[in-house]
Chains A and B, each alone.
Chain A
Amino acid sequence: MFHYDPVLYSRILTEVTLAFHIIFATIGVGVPVMIALAEWTGIRKNDRYYTLLARRWARGFVITVAIGVVTGTAIGLQLSLLWPSFMEIAGQAIALPLFMETFAFFVEAIFLGIYLYTWDRFKPKRHLMLLIPVAIGSSASAFFITTVNAFMNTPQGFTLENGKITNVDPIAAMFNPATPTKVSHVLASAYMTSAFILAAIAAFSLLRRKGDRLYAKKALKLTITAGLVFALATAAIGDLSGKFLAAYQPEKLAAAEWHFETQTKAPLVYGGILTEDKEIKYGLKIPFALSILAGSNPDFEVKGLDQIPDELEPPLYVHYFFDGMVTIGMFTIVIAALYLWLSRSKRASKPAPRWLLRVIVACGPLSMIGIWLGWFYAEVGRQPWILRGYMKVAEAATTSAHVDTMLLLFCLLYLVLGLTAIKVLSKLFKNNDVADELIAFGVFEKRGPLE
């Protein structure tokens, strides 16, 4: 079938591992913040519903953390196994954030262990405080690891001559031009996605008309509000990322926008398809929008692919990733705003329409797809480079045999882990009825009101 090519197989294996890991990494970064929000709301409003919410989320969260930890270990070591020449350079220039990430991870691991087992050992406020190091740890590890990825996009802080690295400045390498926008976009989108996933769960239980409706409603209101705020932040930072790309990685932006000729008053192309002779068909052209996105000014000159040598041009299909990501982001903002508007206090007595609940359920997986598309765009968009301007992907890959067999084994592993996780998680929530837990929790005495 395929001719054995370690570069190709290494790329596929890295993609598969990251795509699987990113699900759990995103949840790992965002959900602690949401748990903290729920527990804090519970204390502030003296409302046990929110405390139960935090407990139930935390219970499911452990399962996802476990898979996040093991797949994170896998990708960490795979970097050396699949990209040994890259890691040799990275080890000299960027080992600092990699090293610090493990410390952040350490702190998160320690305090998550404590948090989960001390619900009844500490007073509520002190117990909530335990989540601060968990949330800081998970966000800090996202921060550090994203600086490594940012470094791959805009490497700096070293000199490379004949394969030898000199003049290393670890801080400059870490705080490279891509760091601010990348890190903030990653964090905001992880918070947003986690909020929408939890919102999807709440909307799902409202749709099923089972369990305690008041509990689900409170959960939905909280998650949708948080989701809207984080989605707006993600969009605003996304706009800054566009300006960053125009300045530092024009080829990535040009490939995403099918922007072939350098020009001012550049239009933005939405959707469409590209024919073989690079004609855009069925696309929606928004005049000046690309210049405004890239430079906040319709007269801004946006570099086109004509200025990029052909062999350094990223694949043009990244356009679909970019459009998909932006569409999903905008869509979730509209849906969240609509739900909040419909459920504002004046008409709170009216239940939300069922179609809207169904769409909210869809927003959970959609946000995760948005995360995937965004990463595919960011990663494929810097092809053919692994270190932009310094090292190409093909020079970095392992020369080892058997990458294809390993790819097969890891695919099997992720399939098994994914399926078992779904099974275990759904069983976990089925076996613990909300109403029963509310009774056990002393919120009301017998089975609560269903409406």
Chain B
Amino acid sequence: MNLELLGITVLWVFLFGYLIVASIDFGAGFFSYYSVITGSKNITHRIIERYLSPVWEVTNVFLVFFYIGLVGFFPETARYYGTALLVPGSLALILLALRGSYYAFSTYGSKDNQWYMLIYGATGLLIPAALSTVLAISEGGLIVETAGTITLDWSALLGSVYTWSVVLLAIVSVLYISAMFLAYYAHKAKDKAAFEIVRGYALFWSAPTILASVLVFFAISRHNPEHFTKMLDLAWMFVISFLCFLIAVYAVWKKRHLGLGFTFVLLQFAFAFFGYGASHLPYILYPYITIHENFTNPAMGTALIIAFIAGLLILIPSLVLLMRLFLFDASYVQGNRDKKG
């Protein structure tokens, strides 16, 4: 494997990590707020908070890591995406800032402030919508370069079926992933009442997720036929993804093997996400930036890979510790351990 392929794979793995942890986080925020306005707060809110509180900070780092890595490995992305994305990027940043802060205000400060919960619940759905437009832009046709000036074609962006299908997919899969995780977590906590509610959410959002995925396939075949052809070459990955989806939903339906069920949710998205990513190569921004022509200089490429390996040696044990303490510790999950000091 050459350095540039290794680089983009590393970044794609981290983006996948962000996709999962952020989906759980964003969706949980929404469900949390939803449970408050529908009066079932006492049942589901506690279980959501117990999981989210120790990990929310880590979620953000996945995104920063991806972005810094992208600029590091492929510096020219900074100029293209940076110039074109000023407005959508800034809006996404403002939403992220509001969500992160109001999550903390609501969890550690004013516990019963409904406004704070509304802000972090609502922004949780707007952020995936805003961030997913970058995926649409990367397909080309929306960033125009004329005489060295890079601009984003807003009417093309907002008028594209592909943009809206990606946004739709982002929102429904956030709710689906999050509900599937919470069902697993509530089941583990032996919290029957909460489990019944989030299980309902999970089953409810499973159908729209698959429908939206089909819509994305259809839209990309119109928007970027070249990419679509490459996706057909990797069709087996998307088929496996669909099978994983069926197994995961079946597990939740039968209320059995929920841990395994959530693993299949992970696999479902992993196959779809890596299939999508692999077929997108070699382009990072179609047709301007490819991983081969726009890779950083070899000295920096090597240094980044070394730093990455060294970083992982610290990161993986720390993440394992975090998960053992808060995800796989039955007594903490069931709420028997004392909470924050």
Contact = CB atoms under 8 A, between A and B. Distances in A.
Given A62-B108, A81-B85, A120 B341 contact: yes
Given A102-B64, A406-B87, A70 B96 contact: yes
B83 interface: yes
B300 A168 contact: yes
Contacts of B93: 73-74, 77-78
Interface string A76-113: 11101111110111111101101111110111011111
B282 to A, nearest CB: 19
Interface stretch (B36-44, B68-76, B219-227, B264-272): B68-76
Contacts, number: 239
Interface string B311-341: 1001100110110011000000000011111
B114 interface: no
Of B71, B80, B110, B315, the most chain A CB neighbours within 10 A belong to B71
A170 B321 contact: no
A420 B105 contact: yes
B149 A399 contact: yes
A95 B300 contact: yes
A306 B119 CA distance: 56
Contacts of B304: 95-96, 99
Interface in B84-132: 84-87, 89-91, 93-94, 96-105, 108-110, 116
A66 B307 CA distance: 27
B110 to A, nearest CB: 6
Contacts of A121: 325, 337-338
Interface stretch (A228-236, A383-391, A409-417): A409-417
A419 B208 CA distance: 40
A76 B64 contact: yes
A409 B90 contact: yes
B300 A63 contact: no
B105 A424 contact: yes
Contacts of B54: 113-114, 116-117
B78 A84 contact: yes
A59 B85 CA distance: 37
B105 A170 contact: no
A238 B90 CA distance: 36
Contacts of A402: 86-87
B82 A84 contact: yes
Of A67, A103, A121, the most chain B CB neighbours within 10 A belong to A103
B57 interface: yes
A427 B109 contact: yes
A55 B79 contact: no
B229 interface: no
B307 A99 contact: yes
B94 A410 contact: yes
Interface in B126-157: 149-151
B330 to A, nearest CB: 14
B293 to A, nearest CB: 14
A88 B75 contact: yes
Contacts of B104: 62-63, 65-67
A118 B321 CA distance: 12
Contacts of B314: 103, 107
B234 interface: no
A405 B91 CA distance: 11
A69 interface: yes
A88 B67 contact: no
Contacts of B303: 96, 170-171
B236 interface: no
A169 interface: yes
B76 to A, nearest CB: 6
B296 interface: yes
A133 B314 CA distance: 10
A333 interface: no
B97 A413 contact: yes
B83 A399 contact: yes
A400 interface: yes
Nearest to A86: B78
Given A70-B60, A81-B85, A106 B90 contact: no
B160 interface: no
A106 B89 contact: no
B297 interface: yes
B65 A102 contact: yes
A87 B77 CA distance: 9
Nearest to B326: A117
B101 A421 contact: yes
B58 to A, nearest CB: 5
A89 B76 CA distance: 9
A361 interface: no
A144 B54 CA distance: 25
Interface of A: 55, 58-59, 62-63, 65-67, 69-74, 76-78, 80-85, 87-93, 95-96, 98-103, 105-107, 109-114, 116-121, 133, 165-166, 168-171, 398-400, 402-403, 405-406, 409-410, 413, 416-417, 420-421, 424-425, 427-428
29 contacts: A59-B108, A59-B340, A63-B109, A76-B68, A80-B81, A81-B89, A82-B86, A95-B68, A96-B300, A98-B71, A98-B72, A99-B304, A99-B311, A106-B315, A110-B58, A110-B318, A110-B321, A116-B54, A117-B54, A117-B339, A119-B340, A119-B341, A171-B303, A400-B84, A402-B87, A403-B86, A406-B87, A417-B98, A420-B105
